[in-house]
Chain A
Amino acid sequence: EADIYQTPRYLVIGTGKKITLECSQTMGHDKMYWYQQDPGMELHLIHYSYGVNSTEKGDLSSESTVSRIRTEHFPLTLESARPSHTSQYLCASSALGATVVNTEAFFGQGTRLTVV
């Protein structure tokens, strides 16, 4: 069973509010990812990290920001939420491919964000 957790599972928030979506994993994985998915649509990578103090932008431009101060924690922040941010956000982690054989990716349950 995957040990990667996202909180909250559901969030309804007003426009202009600052929000932080939490993602934590207990597997010691160096790589972590954030994906955004609109209902019925494909997943888009918005941020990823190779390890502590490493953050990279993904394939889809996003107004969110991320930080990686600890290996196990990869929070995503929206400084000022807008209705266009309404979506599902999925967090994942994996080991670094250069150091281990098993690079299976594990996903959290997701956070469904609604901005009203």
Chain B
Amino acid sequence: KQEVTQIPAALSVPEGENLVLNCSFTDSAIYNLQWFRQDPGKGLTSLLLIQSSQREQTSGRLNASLDKSSGRSTLYIAASQPGDSATYLCAVMGAQKLVFGQGTRLTINP
């Protein structure tokens, strides 16, 4: 059974810092890994998708990496801003279903 773990559960940093969110998964037989953002009481916004054959993807200040063999992914956020405050979720797509981690609640302090 696929299990996805995100560390840390919560993170608070001052504005302008670079930061890294971590995601690990137990079964490396995945089709892809996605990073999502969720604002309080809202739905999910897809940030980055990494196919299983890829090692990283970049979008603006966000960079996500994937090491399938070790079951790890990181989301790097450069020059953080207060508007980045949200919960960040990683999810892995297997043959059967899309499995989520518990999320990292990020707070960027002005």
A contact residues vs B (CB 8 Å cutoff): 2, 33, 35, 39-40, 42-43, 45, 48, 56, 58, 88, 90, 92, 94, 97-98, 101-110, 112
Q: List 5 A-B contacts (CB under 8 A).
A: A90-B44, A103-B31, A104-B46, A107-B44, A110-B42
Interface of A is mostly: loop
Instruction: Give the A-binding residues of B (Cβ under 8 A).
Output: 31-32, 34, 36, 40-44, 46, 49, 51, 89, 91, 93-103
CB neighbours (8 Å) of A43 from chain B are: 89, 100
Report the minimum CB–CB distance from A89 to chain B (whole Å): 10
> Do A45 and B99 touch across chains, with their CB atoms under 8 A apart?
yes
Q: Are A97 and B31 in contact (CB under 8 A)?
A: yes
Given the contacts A43-B100, A92-B98, A103 and B41 also touching, CB distance less than 8 Å? no
